[in-house]
Chains A and B, each alone.
Chain A
C-alpha cells in the first residue's frame, strides 16, 4: 500500500446541520482545509473566505466543490452527495476500501495487493 490513503469522491454524508468542522470534512469527504483553500490530493479550490475558522458553511462548500446538497424538511437532515463532473472512477488506482464480512469483521481490500482481484458486486434483491 502507498503511504497515504486515497480518497475518492465517494462521499455521501448525512448531516444534521449545515456547519461542519474541518476535521469532520476531511474524514467524510477527503477535502482538507488549508490556507490556500479546500484541497484533495494535488487539487485545491480557493474558498474565498477566511480558512482559519472552526466551522464551515456546508452550503458554501458544496457549491464550490460541486457536491449536491439535498435536504429533508421533516427530519431536518441534509445529504451531501459525491462531487459532480468527471467520472465515477477518480483514477485507476484502487482507493482505500474496507468493508465488513457477515460477522462484522472489517476486511481491507488493499490486503489483496499482490493478487489479481475480481470484485463481484451482487445483491440479495
Chain B
C-alpha cells in the first residue's frame, strides 16, 4: 500500500496515482499523521508490517528501483547551478537493489527472513522523539492548519520553527517549500533550499545508510 504525505491532499497526489494505476490501496495523508506516527523524515520511506499487524522494519529509505536521476551525465552546456544539482543527486546514497532483494527475502521467508527484525530491534531503530522534535511536530501542524485555512503567510513562521527544531526532517522542509506561492523562493522565505541544505550536510548523508 502507498500513502501520499501531502498537505495538498488528493488534488496534488492524483496525477501520480492515476498514472501509476495501482491495484493496491493508495491512500492520502493530508495531515502528515503517518510521518508522526512512524517517525518518517523523508520520502520514499517504507515500513514492513507482518500478517499479525506487527511492524518488523521501521521506516527507512526505500527506493523500488534505481531512480533515473542517479548517474545522470552532466551536459556540456550545463550552467553551474545545474552541474551542482546533478553532481549532488549523483552522490545520494540509494541502494534499491539491496532493498528489493531484502524485501523479496521477507516475502518468501516471513519471520525466518534475517531482514525481519525482532520487536526489540524495531524499537531500538525507531527514531527517538526528544522534546524538540515533538515541538517541531506541533509547529508543523499549526503551519499546515494555517495554510489550509487560507493563511499561508501566517504558516511560514511555524514551518520555519519546525525546521529549526528538527533540521533533518526533510518531509517538513520539502513540504513547506512546495507550499510557497508563485514568485516566492525557498531561499528568500526560509533562507535555504534543497540544494544548499543537502550540500551543507553532504549528499552522502541525505539518505542515512540502510542497515538491512
Residues of A within 8 A of B (CB): 1, 8-10, 12-14, 66-70, 72, 74-75, 77, 79-89, 91-95, 97, 99-104, 107, 109-110, 112-125
**Chain B, residue nearest A80 (CB):** B138
Say how far B42's CB is from chain A's closest CB, in angstroms.
9
Chain A residues closer than 8 Å to B46, beta-carbon distance: 118-121
Question: Are B49 and A117 in contact, CB atoms less than 8 angstroms apart?
Answer: yes
Q: Is the CB of B54 within 8 A of A87?
A: no
What separation, in Å, do the CA atoms of A125 and B140 have in the docked complex? 16
Q: Which of B18, B38, B158, B177 sits near A72, CB closer than 8 Å?
A: B158
Given A12-B138, A72-B158, A121-B5, 5 extra CB contacts under 8 A: A75-B146, A87-B128, A91-B123, A92-B54, A121-B46
Contact partners of B15 in chain A: CB under 8 A: 124
Taken together as a complex, chains A and B put the C-alpha atoms of A77 and B38 apart, in Å, by 26
Residues of chain B touching chain A, judged by Cβ–Cβ distance below 8 Å, are 1-6, 8, 10, 12-18, 25-29, 31, 33-40, 43-56, 58-59, 62, 64, 103, 106-107, 110, 119, 122-123, 126-131, 133-142, 145-146, 151, 154, 158, 161, 171, 174-175, 177-178
Instruction: Give CA–CA (A87, B38) in the complex, Å.
Output: 9
Our count of residue pairs bridging A and B at CB distance below 8 angstroms stands at 226
Residue among A67, A85, A103, A122 making CB contact with B44, cutoff 8 Å: A122
Q: Are B131 and A102 in contact (CB under 8 A)?
A: no
Q: Which residue of chain A has the shortest Cβ distance to B153 in the bound complex?
A: A74
Identify which of B29, B36, B59, B135 contacts A68 (C-beta below 8 A): B135
Check if B6 sits within 8 Å of A118, measured CB to CB. Answer: no
Q: Please give me the 8 A-B residue pairs with the lowest Cβ-Cβ distance, nearest first.
A: A88-B39, A81-B138, A125-B178, A84-B134, A89-B126, A99-B27, A68-B135, A79-B142
* 23 interchain pairs, CB-CB under 8 A: A8-B37, A68-B131, A75-B146, A75-B154, A77-B142, A82-B134, A87-B127, A87-B129, A92-B123, A93-B53, A100-B10, A102-B18, A116-B48, A116-B106, A119-B3, A120-B45, A120-B64, A121-B35, A121-B38, A121-B45, A122-B44, A123-B175, A124-B4
